[in-house]
Every structure is written in C-alpha cells, then in structure tokens.
Chains A and B, each alone.
Chain A
C-alpha cells in the first residue's frame, strides 16, 4: 500500500437528459450491434446494455444503463407513479438481477453491464452517445484525485471499536488470517 494519494482517476459519465429523448432507441440498436460477435454482425435490443423505459402516451422516456449484477434481489422493491401512471416494479433500476428479465442475454441469461464501449483503440465516446443526435445522451470525462487514504488515527479508532465488540483475541486472529490470505 502506498501513501501517495495524488494518483488521478478517470470518471466517465453518460449524462442523460430525459427531456431531450425522442424515444427512437438508436442507443439500444447500436449498443447491441457493438457488442455482437463479430462486432456489428447483428443487432438485437434485447441484448443491449441500455434500454429506454418508455410510456409514450405519458411522455415518459428514460434511458437506463445496465449496472452491476446482483446475485440476490433487493429485500425491498420500488414502484414509481409518475403523472398518474404506475410503472412496473423496479422499472427504473439498472441492476441485472434475478427478479426480472432486463439486462440479461436472452438465450443464456448471463448478466449484461454497460462497459462504455471499451475497445482498443478506445472510442472517443460510447456509441450510444454518438448515435444520439438529439443530445439526450452526452458524455463527460473528468479526472478526480484518488480518495486519500484514511488517517492512521481513524484506523485505530475502527479497530478499537471492533475490539470492544468482539474482544482483542478475535480481532488479532482475524487480522492474522486476512494477512495470510493477502
């Protein structure tokens, strides 16, 4: 572990302006084409890592990107009502999860996740952004400083809390075990 805390990190953000979305689903089309093997050899929005949640008559269009895979569904679920229209449970969630069919390969059920069109050489912008001529999707890249390592006294305080709860013996054993695994 190094104490050098100045290492910059790149944060890639797709900014989604739902007011500008015209509902065309070009993002889904090009996403699935890009991730086809070989590249662009097929298209199928069911394989896309972005889906436009849409309720045309209520004028709701929300592009949602596939996020992390979760092995278990949430203990609690959410359900939105917007402008009097009730949406399906977890409609706006980005997880690939056992409770619904979204963000899974249709034939294998393997989870899908947006990778910002990672490729070599890298693209200047993810393709969904390039294909969104209405600018509902825009791309922003920024450098941030790596979160500095916590001060030593914070670590001390954390360990002390653990010791108070479990006793020093158990904490020592656990530390030894973890250090070995590392």
Chain B
C-alpha cells in the first residue's frame, strides 16, 4: 500500500486524446518526496532544453505535494510546472485552495498534460472516469464563470475546477490558472495551458488517502492545531501587524496598510509615498474593505483565514483574493482601494498575475509619458487614469494592438518596443516582474535571496528569519527566548547581535558566512513545503510557525511511511533544490541572470556582492558560475545530471574524476 500519496499519475495527451493512469515508482518518492521534487525530476527526464514553452512537447504538470489531502493542517498545495514563456526556465507556480486535495482523492498524485488539443477542451476527472470534453462554448469566458458553467453542465456543484480566462487562451505571458479560492499566477502557467487548448480541469474524488502511522500522525496534527491557537493569540511584538501572526500576510483581515503603502513603490515600481497612510486614507480604505469583503476564507483543511471573498456590487459578482494582490492594482495606478478591488475582479476573471499585470500597465503609461509610445499606439485610450488601466487590461488579455506586445511582460515588451524602453522595464529578475520595492541600503540576506531564488519571487524564498533587526537588545532577547524553529543556536546569536545601525548592521552584518546559512535555511524550508504541499503560511513563510525542521521529518515519515530524520530530509531537499537548478542550468541559466533589479537598493557594494555570491555558490556546492559541481551531484545521487552536463560541455571534463570521500565542499545541510 502507498501512504499519503496515491501511487498513480494521470497522463493526458491532448494531441492524441489519450488518457492513461500510470503507476509511479515508489523509489522516486524516497528520492524526491512529491510536488516540486518529483515535478523537477519529471522535467529533467522528459523535457530536454530544446523544448519551447509553446511546444506540444512542453509538459503542463499539476503536482500535488506528498502530504496533500492528509489531515495535516494546511497541506493542500499544488505545484504547477511547465517551461515558462516569460523566463524560458522551469516554472513552479503554486496554488492552495481545494483542487489539489480533490485530485488526490480522485486517485492521482499528478496530472501530466502534454500535446495540444485541436479544439478548446476541458478535462473532467471523476475518480477513475476521465473525459476530454468540448469547451467551445466556454471560449472567451472568465475563469470563475467557466468554473460555474462546468459545474452546472456536469451537475456536480462540488467539483473543483481550475481554469483559465481570456489571458490564458491568448497566451499572455503572465496568464494565471484560477481555481476560485487560489491561483497559480506566476510565470505564465496559464499561457501554457491556453497553448494546449485546455480551458479547464474539473475534478471530483472519493478515494481514501492512507496514513502510515495514524496515531502518531494525528497526535502531531493535534499538537499543531494547539500551537496555532496559542500563536494566533500571541502576535509577535515589533513586527508590522500583517506579518505578526501566521499565514500569508493578513491583508484581508487587517486594515493597517501603512507598511505596504509607504515602503513599497507606486506606479511602475517607482515612487515611495512616505506619509501616505493618513487617518483619512485609513478610514476610507477600511470602509471599502468592510463593504466589499463578504467573508474571510481558508483553503482545504486549514484554520488560517488568509483569503477573502470580495463582492463587487452584487454577491454573485464575487471573486477571492489574498495577500498583496489587494494593493497591486491600486498602487500601480495611484488610485484608491475601491478601484483596486474592482479591477482585480476583472483581472481574476481574465486570469492574470497580480504582480506582473499592474506593473506592465504602469510601464506602458510611463512609456507614453516619456514619448516612447505615442497616442497613435494607443488609439481610444480613455482620459481618466483609472479608465486607462481598464483599457490596457482589456487590450492585453485580448492581445489587441499594443496589448499584443505588452502581453509578453515588461522585459520582452521593452525589447520589442526599443527606443530606450528597456530602461523602463527596470524591476525584473530573470525576465519577470518583481514586488515593487525600492530601498536604501543593501541587505546581504535579501541580496542573495533575490539573486538565487530559482522561482524569481521573493515571497517564495524569504520567511523564518526576521526581515529586519529589532530595535533593542531586550526585544531581540524576548524574540529568541522561544525560537524553537531555528536549525541551531547560532541563528539566535546572529539575530541577537543584529543592530539597526553601527558596526553590526547591514550591509556588513550578518557576516557573509552567516548570511549564507540564513538564506539557505529559509530557502530549504520552502523547498520542503513545496515537496510536501504544506502551505508556506504554516511553515516556511511566517516567523515562528507550527511546522519546522525539527517537526517535519517525523510528520512526513508518519504520513508517508518514510524513514526520515533531519539529516535525511535535508539531503532530499538539497537534491530537489539542485535538480531544479540543473533544469535551469541546462536551459541556459548563468551567474549573469542572478542579480536583483539594478535600482532595488540605492547603496550598492559590488565587492561585497561578489563575495556573497561566490561564498553562497560554494556553500551550496556549486562552482563560481553557479553550476552544481561533480562532487555535489555525485553526493546527491544526481550522477545522471553530471553526465548530461559533461555531454553538453556545461561542466568541464577534467574535473570528471570521481570525488574523493569528503571532498564535496557543501556546508549546506
């Protein structure tokens, strides 16, 4: 019997219309767990670097995490992978909600879609019965409308539906896959779904998910729930309110947006508004939220309420949102919250990423102001500021006129427009739009995270270590007193000594070595979550979460019947992380790609930055070009990667001799 996982993938070839239920190799679970880990392995094995994003050979994989659907709170995440049209690298965009557990309950760990359907279709997965169905009448419809119509057509009110809107159909490079409560928004996974002519996937399941060691597993779940109760009553002092508790930033529940509105940049990631958050704004925005927010919502089997249903005018015209998407449209347009929540409803139906879409629109208006684009490029552009954003959104998702260029995101659009437009696409890493942040002093921890985050999204690598030092020693001592989540005591010491100014402040403190460890720890926790399907909101993202490195090995072991301790889980996680990188190295990722936006910090330190990256690469067991070394690959049972790198000339042959015992550098654990 297989535990926590089903032991089967559903393979669908849309070119041939074939559907197969394929047993998976349990050895892969031991090597990679599930979710991102086994997705990365599948791409390594089946998607060579020549494959173009919009090729029938590109896979679109919906991989549930290993513990998804078990009673472990918050284990509901699906990792959607494909080759991204935007970055042209291996994408892993994640969604919570209810879809992943339902796929598991239907009897599949992953849905693997290949080929391209000649007509627009949707998939209906009802336990063992799977159909490819005509979706022509759904063409052009919104993602949520589509879900509703499919549920009606099937007469299955509780089927879970993941769908694309117009943006996905038209292969907008930042198109999302929406599933009501959550979405896989980053890196254009919706565009690949649209390229495959797949409008939606509906799923309903009624199979059991087995637990290997039930009593122990349940006890751990109960303890986590107890922990959550206590932790939620004790927000961390000295941290901005939306980050003081658990979950993703609590922007649906908490009205205080001083931190985001004053520290993040408005427009095309340009302008700080330092005294923005006045009583007047606070009152108006609180009113907007309380009028439009109908209910705080959770994902499957999670007590946190990170999401909310937002109603525009009528309850039937609703959508769900969470976190910073609350503000991205508002801030891009220098508008108010009412506008932001209204346009987000349209954007959700069209299915676009809430980081990239507003920034791309603000970028277009900057180009217009600069005379690089002219009114001739935008015939019919409304006079009002807000009208312009609605107009641009519409052109982009339809790929009409200038929208056809903007639909490729700021990086590719700037290249195509030329005339100096590149200067305006200033907020990208690895060709994709970042959070709009422009700060003063270089932070070494964030520098490394921005550079090396394979997903190119800071929220998917930051987390368990405080974002900034606390003001006083007393506050820091109070913070570390019950900080059981750290890998070891050194992390407490680093935080204790971290000052806001003086010798022990950024950029020189934490030291390069400590910075490597802090970055590695935070990233590691995300990679564990992405393999288990645990939501970052209960584990790798917030400070002092219920699930951490001293608990997760046992939780995974009891759930899935594996025999993991911290060392073994660290090893598997390093393997997964290295394999994700290997996929991208093979697709041309170089050290040159690993840098933050040039204007992210005003004060930069080239020598320190070089040293940080050199040392971090070494720490990870990579060479100075950021390529995993032979020794590292061998140690992680990735010799097949080393062989491929040799064949392609990515690694030089002279170092190909088998490593001596203990020769692998890797301080990383």
* Residue ranges of A at the interface with B (Cβ–Cβ < 8 Å): 22-26, 29-30, 33, 36, 38-47, 54-59, 61, 83-85, 87-88, 91, 106, 130-131, 133-134
What residue in chain A is nearest B318 (Cβ atoms)?
A57
Establish whether residues A58 and B315, one from each chain, have CB atoms under 8 Å apart when the complex forms.
yes
Determine the chain A residues whose CB is within 8 A of the CB of B222 once the complex forms. 130
Determine the chain A residues whose CB is within 8 A of the CB of B209 once the complex forms. 42-44
Establish whether residues B309 and A43, one from each chain, have CB atoms under 8 Å apart when the complex forms.
no
A32 to B245, CA, bound (A): 30
A87 to B152, CA, bound (A): 11
A133 to B158, CA, bound (A): 23
A40 to B69, CA, bound (A): 13
3 cross-chain pairs, A with B, having the tightest CB-CB distances, nearest first = A46-B206, A40-B214, A24-B298
Highest count of chain B CB atoms <10 Å: which of A22, A44, A46, A61: A22
A134 to B295, CA, bound (A): 12
Given contacts A26-B302, A29-B71, A88-B157, contact A42 B211 (CB under 8 A): yes
Establish whether residues A33 and B218, one from each chain, have CB atoms under 8 Å apart when the complex forms.
yes
Determine the chain B residues whose CB is within 8 A of the CB of A56 once the complex forms. 180-181, 297, 309, 318, 320
Given contacts A133-B228, A134-B305, contact A40 B71 (CB under 8 A): yes
Interface residues of B in 297-339 (CB under 8 A from A): 297-303, 305, 309, 311, 315-316, 318-320
A54 to B309, CA, bound (A): 13
Determine the chain A residues whose CB is within 8 A of the CB of B296 once the complex forms. 22
Q: Tell whether B165 is near chain A: CB-to-CB under 8 Å.
A: no
* Residue ranges of B at the interface with A (Cβ–Cβ < 8 Å): 69-71, 73, 98, 105, 144, 148, 157-158, 180-181, 205-211, 214-215, 217-218, 222, 225, 228-229, 294-303, 305, 309, 311, 315-316, 318-320
Contact of A24 among B214, B229, B299 (CB under 8 A): B299
A42 to B318, CA, bound (A): 35
Highest count of chain A CB atoms <10 Å: which of B208, B217, B316: B208
Shortest C-beta distance, A124 to chain B (Å), equals 13
What residue in chain A is nearest B147 (Cβ atoms)?
A57
Given contacts A22-B295, A43-B69, A83-B315, contact A29 B301 (CB under 8 A): yes
Establish whether residues B71 and A30, one from each chain, have CB atoms under 8 Å apart when the complex forms.
yes
Shortest C-beta distance, B344 to chain A (Å), equals 15
Given contacts A56-B180, A57-B316, A59-B309, contact A41 B299 (CB under 8 A): no
Highest count of chain B CB atoms <10 Å: which of A29, A57, A84: A57
Establish whether residues B303 and A59, one from each chain, have CB atoms under 8 Å apart when the complex forms.
no
Establish whether residues A43 and B297, one from each chain, have CB atoms under 8 Å apart when the complex forms.
no
Establish whether residues A43 and B158, one from each chain, have CB atoms under 8 Å apart when the complex forms.
no
Shortest C-beta distance, B252 to chain A (Å), equals 11
What residue in chain B is nearest A30 (Cβ atoms)?
B71
A134 to B320, CA, bound (A): 19
A101 to B228, CA, bound (A): 35
Establish whether residues B180 and A55, one from each chain, have CB atoms under 8 Å apart when the complex forms.
no
Determine the chain A residues whose CB is within 8 A of the CB of B208 once the complex forms. 36, 42-44, 47
Contact of A57 among B144, B158, B206 (CB under 8 A): B144
Determine the chain A residues whose CB is within 8 A of the CB of B300 once the complex forms. 24-25, 29
Establish whether residues A59 and B211, one from each chain, have CB atoms under 8 Å apart when the complex forms.
no
A76 to B205, CA, bound (A): 30
Determine the chain A residues whose CB is within 8 A of the CB of B297 once the complex forms. 22-23, 56
Determine the chain A residues whose CB is within 8 A of the CB of B218 once the complex forms. 33, 40
A87 to B157, CA, bound (A): 9
Shortest C-beta distance, A104 to chain B (Å), equals 10
Shortest C-beta distance, A148 to chain B (Å), equals 43
Given contacts A38-B214, A133-B228, contact A44 B295 (CB under 8 A): no
Given contacts A33-B218, A45-B105, A55-B157, contact A26 B315 (CB under 8 A): no
A113 to B314, CA, bound (A): 37
A92 to B180, CA, bound (A): 23
